[in-house]
Structure 1
Amino acid sequence: MFKISEFSKLSQVPAKTLRFYDQLELLKPAYTDQQSGYRYYKSEQLLQLHRILAFKDLGFTLEQIKQLLKENVSNAEIRGMLRLKQAELHSLIQSEMERLGRIEARLGCIERQSDGRLRHELVVKKVEPLLVATLKETTSRASIPGLFEEIDEFLRKNGVAPTVPHMVMWHACPECESSIELEIACPVPRELSNTSRFQTKVLPEMTVATVTHISRPDEDTPVSIELGSWIEGNGYRISPELPSREIYLSPQENDKLRYVTESQMPILALG
């Protein structure tokens, strides 16, 4: 038998790692001296150690490897696990390639900026489904604050305390002066009775390019140009089926007409 130092040298695995594997009961020594605590290994244990290292190299956790060795898993079962790991790695690679593309696009934007800075930080995120009360109307941007008040009054009448954020969903022509088709929405904790004016519905899950900035709901915001440029430069396209959103998160303390605003553009990956 070999002392742990000798087995470490033979296997090219640090003695510290071998002790850790012993603690996990992943690779127990063939013999442990009860008085000195010295660990001793047999040469046949190299096969088990190399199998552990092979599974670890394939991305399995030590706990998964422990189960694989303990249960004497069949080749068919190992093949299935490897297929899952393969799919997981393909997904990770795709995600990281998209991240790399965003980094390269951001570098390009910085290099094009005269002062070397971006005006806003743009990110991609997934928006979860959301239950909201809505009010849809074709109107002008100037009427949005009044529509906020109208939907707040509807919520109060239904026993729901109105809170920020308010949301505006742009269905058509957000740049038009008097013919904007928009929808005001507020999150609600439960379904409310629909009327000819108000509806309760669940907004769908979607992936968005988003930017946070300061704006007034009754004034145009300039960030759409930045969003469009970013989407184009990062290998996405705008979803034709979902409206863009502006979420008015909180009013500023020194100017209640201006809000911390999150602009969201629904996107699809090119492919």
Structure 2
Amino acid sequence: MFKISEFSKLSQVPAKTLRFYDQLELLKPAYTDQQSGYRYYKSEQMLDLHRILAFKDLGYTLEQIKQLLNDNVSTAEIRGMLRLKQSDLHSLIQSEMERLRRIEVRLKQIERQSDGLSRYEVLVKKVEPLMVATLKETTSRASIPELFEEIDKYLKWNGIPLPVPHMVMWHGCPECESTIDLEIACPIPRKLQDTVRFQSKLLPDMTVASVTHMSRPDADTPVSIDLGSWIEENGYRISSEMPSREVYLSPQESNKLRYVTESQMPILGTGFMQ
């Protein structure tokens, strides 16, 4: 048998690491002297150590490796864990490739702009499901502030504390001068009693290209043009299944008609699809 210092030199694994593996019961010494506490290893334990290092190189945690090395784990279970890790790594690589491509597009934008700055910073993110109270209307954009006031009264009547963020979901063209199909929505903690004008529903999750900017809900903003250009340049597609959203987070202190606004465009694809 080998002393821990000898086994460490033979395996090129630090003695500190071997002691840690012992504490985790991942690789126990073949023998431990009860009086001195010295650890001794057999040469065949080198095979177990190499398996640990191999799984570690594949990205598994020590707890996962401990499970993999368990005698009760079947070959089918090990195969399943490896395939799951393979899928995770593919997703990670894809995500990092998308990030790299977005950086490349951003660098090209900076090179094209004289001041070196983009008007807006675009973020791709997942929007989680959200329970909302909604009010549908076919109207002009100028009437949106009045609709905000109407839904606020409904929320207040149902005991929902104000203020709450207002959301506009565009079922029609936001730039149209009149007869826009839109839906006002506000997040709520629970389902409310429906009326002729108001309904409660759960908005589905979706992936969006998002931009935060200052805007007025009753006036057009050019941000949708910039957002559309970014989506095209980065190889995404606009989803036709879900409406775009504008989330009016809070009014500006110096001008209550202007809001900190998040424009969300639902997108499909993973970017730079072939």
Tell me the TM-score normalised to structure 2 length: 0.92
Task: Tell me whether 1:159 sits opposite 2:184 in the alignment.
Answer: no
Matches within 5 A, 1:107-256: 107-256=107-256
Q: Which moved more, 1:72-81 or 1:46-55?
A: 72-81
Deviations 1:142-166 (A, max 9, x none): 1111111111112222333342200
SS of corresponding position for 1:175: coil
Q: For 2:2, give the aligned amino acid.
A: F
How far, CA to CA, are the matches of 2:66 and 2:33 in structure 1? 24
Taking the aligned partners of 1:151 and 1:240, their CA distance within structure 2 comes to 27
Q: Is the 8 A contact 1:132 1:200 kept in 2?
A: yes
Q: What CA distance in whole angstroms lies between the structure 2 residues aligned with 1:109 and 1:101?
A: 12
Question: In 1, Cα distance between the equivalents of 2:227 and 2:174?
Answer: 15
8 Å Cα contact 1:169/1:184 also seen in 2: yes
Unaligned runs of 5+ in 2: none
- Quick check: 1:69 aligned with 2:69? yes
SS in 2 for 1:256: coil
Q: Provide Cα deviations, 1:9-47, integer angstroms capped at 9, x if missing partner.
A: 211212221121112111122223344433222111111
Deviation at 1:240, TM superposition (A): 0.7
Q: List, as ranges, runs of 4+ consecutive aligned residues in structure 1 with deviation greater than 4 Å.
A: none
CA distance in 1, matches of 2:153, 2:263: 25
CA distance in 2, matches of 1:23, 1:154: 61
> 2:106 corresponds to which letter in structure 1?
R
Q: C-alpha separation between the residues in 2 aligned to 1:173 and 1:72? A: 61
1:70-115: CA deviation from partner (whole Å, max 9, x where unpaired): 3342322211221222122222222222222222222222222211
Q: Which runs of 5+ in 1 are unaligned?
A: none
Helix, strand or coil at the partner of 2:258: strand
TM-score, with length taken from structure 1: 0.93
Provide the secondary structure at the position in 2 that maps to 1:110: helix
Q: Distance in 1 between matches of 2:93 and 2:267?
A: 20
Distance 2:253 2:135 in 1: 27
- 1:98 match: 98
Paired AA for residue 30 in structure 1:
A
Give the Cα–Cα distance (whole angstroms) in 2 for the partners of residues 104 and 15 of structure 1: 45
Work out the percentage of aligned pairs sharing the same amino acid: 81
CA–CA distance in structure 2, aligned partners of residues 52 and 267 of structure 1: 42
User: Number of matched residues?
Assistant: 271
Shift of 1:251: 1.0
